A and B are shown apart, each in its own frame.
Chain A
């Protein structure tokens, strides 16, 4: 069975600080996909990034960066120079197997950025 763990339930930072969200996953598959989603107070989950298990190259998109470490089964997410608009719940998710797009989500990490 697959499992996604986000050990940090809530992180509070002051604007312009960096914040790193941890994600650890368990899977028996060699081929799988990892995702990060953002859920602002409005409710909808917003897709941020997708990474396949064969691509360990780290990625940067603006103030966001992702560190995929297959050896430790982790897919961590860093927000650099955080802003108030980054306040949201962030979810890590895992998709595996041949049975279609069934995501397993972590419990989410609430990020509160204070001005």
Chain B
């Protein structure tokens, strides 16, 4: 496999459920990101991990909990979400967190909160 892989592709969950999104990158990168893409809103950066340490938490509610066990894997744990959290969640990776490092994105997980 190559690139950035996200699972599941689609997820429907109730507001009381707990679920996790998974991201895996096969590019040898050392930085990983979670972005949220809502309808009619620009892409929003949620979290940045560099060398498995969280370096950015962009004022994200605590019902979203990221985990980066190693430089190839990134998770987003979800609990007690709200309907407005329904969105496309995109994972990305880059070689370093320098501002000229292009991001490589996965296909995203389409999340629907009912």
Residues of chain A whose beta carbon lies under 8 Å from any beta carbon of chain B: 4, 32-33, 35, 37, 42-47, 50, 52, 91, 95-97, 100-108
Contacts and interface: CB of A to CB of B under 8 A. Distances in A.
Interface of B: 3-4, 31, 41-43, 45, 48, 50, 55-56, 88, 90, 92, 94, 96-108, 110
Contacts of A47: 102-104
A107 B42 contact: yes
Contact of B55 (A91, A100, A103): A100
Contact of A97 (B42, B43, B99, B100): B99
B42 A106 contact: yes
A41 B69 CA distance: 30
B45 to A, nearest CB: 6
A101 B31 contact: yes
B56 A35 contact: no
Contacts of A108: 42
B55 A44 contact: no
Contact of B90 (A4, A45, A50, A107): A45
A50 B48 CA distance: 20
A101 B30 CA distance: 13
Q: Name, among B48, B56, B102, B108, the residue most crowded by chain A CB atoms within 10 Å (CB to CB).
A: B102
Nearest to A107: B42
A101 B97 contact: yes
Given A43-B88, A44-B4, A33 B99 contact: yes
